[in-house]
Amino acid sequence: MFARLLGESFARNPRRKVLTAAALVIGMAVATATLTIALEVGDRLAREFRSLGANLLVTPESDTLPVEIGGVDYRPVDEGAYLNEADLGKLKTIFWRHNILGFTPFLDVPAYVSETGGATTLIGTWYKHEVPVPDGTKFETGASATHPWWKVQGRWFQDGADECVVGAGLAEKYPAAFAIGKTIHLTQNQVSGDGRPLVVTGIISTGDAEDNAVLLPLPVAQEISGHPGKFRQLFVSALTKPADALAERGERAQTDKNIQLTPTEYDRWFCSPYISSIGFQIRTVLPGTDVHAIRRVAETEGRILTRVGTLLWIVTLAALGAAALAIAATSATTVLERRAEIGVMKALGASNALVGGIFLAEQVLLAIAGGAIGFFVGAGLARFLGESVFGTPAAPRPILFPVVLALAAVIAMIGSLVPLRRAAHFRPAVILRGE
Amino acid sequence: MATLVQVENLRKEFGNVRALDGVSFRVDAGEWIAIMGPSGSGKTTLINILGGLDTPTAGQAVVDGTDVARLDEAGLTRFRAEKIGFIFQQFHLVPYLTAVENVMLAQYFHSTTDEKEAQQSLERVGLGDRIEHLPSQLSGGEQQRVAVARALINHPKLILADEPTGNLDEANEEIVLSLLRELHNEGHTILMVTHAPSIGRLADRRIEFAHGHLVQAAVASLKPELA
């Protein structure tokens, strides 16, 4: 009988049903679109942010402090600790390996340039380098991935070749010595003969200390310093999610023994791509290292991601709120229109729960229909928005389908709550008197 | 005969208006009572209280051992479903349900539906060929007969009829009254509100109201035969 009542009632007043369904379709379409974008925006913005450069710095745990004057590290090559280049492939074996977008080792070597007679820092690094990964694959990375904003006039050196790029500051200071195509000679000390010849292939502008250094292939720097297969610093570019209270607790728990995560908290922290959990995982594959977040980059990213996420949630809630209000309005009209019917049902012995159930079931059916249509309209809207904002359409998320249906049902129930409460207070005697 | 309805000092106030003012009477099981009086005298208020549609301000209204005044809302709902059969002047059928579905609706609120029994109930009131008709496809008399079938379907202890022929033409009035007489003969207890003295005389007793007071309780000495 319930189904029959529901069916008969559902078939009545199709115009109002269409209006209610339309409100739900619009609300659910906006909710689907914003939720789809919200799920993607973190990933997409994080990838865009990666153009800001690396967000993690890995250094040897027992390294000495650098002795830098005017961008030149005067530490003797024998001082300080080094890391093994051969271990770098392990970075692509951690739990969040797919979030490691790139990494670049740096080896600073104090040296003299014979042509100028002055001290400078050589920075051995990779531009584009294929790193063997333990699973047998190769991963191409280097400064091109972690420092994409570095600008080179001329061209980058080739990996392993006797070539170098010279910082713009140095090139400006010694234009004759560091012109593109010229060969320079590098020595470890001022009296050691002609030194290692390198061809200048480009002038590099970084806006940082590299502008006063000579950048050269890592193997060449290792050879000059006498530390083959070693490096001092590693810049890592990783996709992360904004830090929250758990991320901060997880990070502090690494150094503060008074803070302990419960097993559940630990699992959640470990399985979330927080900068602290990725740093922790890097430390486990590169023992003897310190992993520091490059705060300026990480915090800016986190702030923007949080704000965009909040904005999308506000839009979603506003859309759902508007849908609930529209449903409340149509539901109130329906209840008023069917007041006599409600009065008769109650007079015949229908409980408030049963009468409410009939109206609620009708609204939920409408919600499911409206939610289903809204999901597909919203998926289309998300594609369009994704295309307009990020250049590529946002892929539909089937996982959102049941979520949207459930949301629609909840919204329909919330929207019907006030009218149904009112219906519960209808007194059949008053209604049947025709008042 | 056992007492089915016992009303003691019943009062109902709507703000400053006293719709019922200390009404007391009894009805035995199987009696047909006509409640009469001018408009606003408290007849419908009394029927509503006895049917659990309204609650009294004071006093007792005991139906089949249940004091309606003491029931909460859920209790009143069950009471209406289990003990009362209503016949309204305006029929009050659910417009989008067929005749048989309207009868089944009362079954549904009572316990479980039985379409066959609902059909038999309609056949009994002479609507065997109108089972699948919507109220809008039935005449006033036919709609009231559906309402009678609906009132009877759960075998109520008490049938409350509020001006059951008030909206009917003479021919349909006679059909409905004949149905009520049949029910009475079968032993049903009927409380019927009516303005018409001719209809009131069909009952075993007449209870007359004026301004919320019971002014006369008369036993019908002669029950005129239905034409």
A243 in Cβ contact with A274 (< 8 Å): yes
Confidence tier at A215 by pLDDT (50, 70, 90):
very high
Q: What is the pLDDT of residues A106-147, one digit of tens each?
A: 998 888 888 877 788 899 999 999 999 998 999 999 998 888
Confidence tier at B126 by pLDDT (50, 70, 90):
confident
Which pairing describes strands A72-73 and B32-36: parallel, antiparallel, or unpaired? unpaired
Q: Please report, as a single letter, which amino acid is at residue B39.
A: S
Residue A243 has pLDDT above 80, yes or no: no
Residue A193 has pLDDT above 70, yes or no: no
A121 in Cβ contact with A71 (< 8 Å): yes
Average pLDDT on B52-56 reads 90
Q: How confident is the model at residue B227, as a pLDDT?
A: 33
Q: What is the pLDDT of residues A318-360, one digit of tens each?
A: 888 888 888 888 888 888 888 888 888 999 888 888 888 888 8
Q: How close does chain B come to A95, measured CA to CA in Å?
A: 59
Residue keyed to tokens 């890995």: A58
Residue A214 has pLDDT above 70, yes or no: yes
* CA-to-CA separations, A146 to A161, A226, B196, in angstroms, rounded: 21, 26, 98
Average pLDDT on A198-222 reads 90
Contacts of B106 in chain A (CB under 8 A): 348-349
Confidence tier at A202 by pLDDT (50, 70, 90):
very high
Residue B222 has pLDDT above 50, yes or no: no
Q: How confident is the model at residue A75, as a pLDDT?
A: 59
Q: Using CA atoms, how far apart are residues B35 and B43, in angstroms rounded to an integer?
A: 6
Average pLDDT on B9-21 reads 89
What residue segments make up the domains of chain B, in order of their start?
Answer: 30-55+72-219
Q: How confident is the model at residue A359, as a pLDDT?
A: 83
Query: Which secondary-structure segment (H or E) carries A165?
Result: strand A163-167
A224 in Cβ contact with A122 (< 8 Å): yes
Handedness of CA B105, B111, B114, B118 (dihedral sign): negative
Q: Using CA atoms, how far apart are residues B161 and A228, in angstroms rounded to an integer?
A: 106
Q: How confident is the model at residue A50, as a pLDDT?
A: 57
Residues 6+ apart with CB under 8 A from B111: B154
Contacts of A434 in chain B (CB under 8 A): 90
Query: Which secondary-structure segment (H or E) carries A86?
Result: none
Average pLDDT on A229-257 reads 85
- Among A147-156, A380-389, B113-122, B145-154, which is the least confidently predicted range? A380-389
B-contacting residues of A 251-270, CB under 8 Å? Answer: none
Q: What is the pLDDT of residues A246-278, one digit of tens each?
A: 888 888 887 788 888 888 888 888 888 888 889
Contacts of B86 in chain A (CB under 8 A): 347-348
Fold of B30-55+72-219: Rossmann fold (3.40.50)
**What are the respective helix, strand and coil percentages of chain A, to the nearest 5?**
55, 20, 25
Q: Show the tokens assigned to B100.
A: 């048989």
Q: How confident is the model at residue B225, as a pLDDT?
A: 39
Most B CBs within 10 A among A4, A348, A351, A421, hence the mutation to make, goes to A348
Give the side-chain half-sphere CA count within 13 A for A408. Answer: 34
A·B CB contacts under 8 A: 70
Which residues are A306's β-sheet partners?
A: none
Contacts of B53 in chain A (CB under 8 A): 347, 427-429, 432
Q: Using CA atoms, how far apart are residues A213 and A150, in angstroms rounded to an integer?
A: 14
Which value does ipTM take for this structure?
Answer: 0.88
Q: Using CA atoms, how far apart are residues A189 and A111, in angstroms rounded to an integer?
A: 7
Residue B18 has pLDDT above 90, yes or no: no
What is residue A398's DSSP assignment? T
- Among A4-13, A187-196, B105-114, which is the least confidently predicted range? A187-196
Listed residue (B1, B41, B40, B4) closest to B23, CA to CA: B41
Mark A7-31 as b/e (b = at least 16 C-beta within 10 Å). ebbbeebeeebebbbbbbbbbbbbb
Helix axes B99-110, B140-152, angle to 10 degrees: 20
Candidate from B90, B97, B109 with C-beta closest to A349:
B109
Confidence tier at B152 by pLDDT (50, 70, 90):
confident
- Contact check, Cβ <8 Å, B104/A1: yes
Taking the Cβ of residue A2 and every Cβ of chain B, the question of whether any pair is shorter than 8 Å is answered with yes
**What are the respective helix, strand and coil percentages of chain B, to the nearest 5?**
35, 30, 35
Q: Using CA atoms, how far apart are residues B171 and B167, in angstroms rounded to an integer?
A: 12
Contacts of A354 in chain B (CB under 8 A): 109
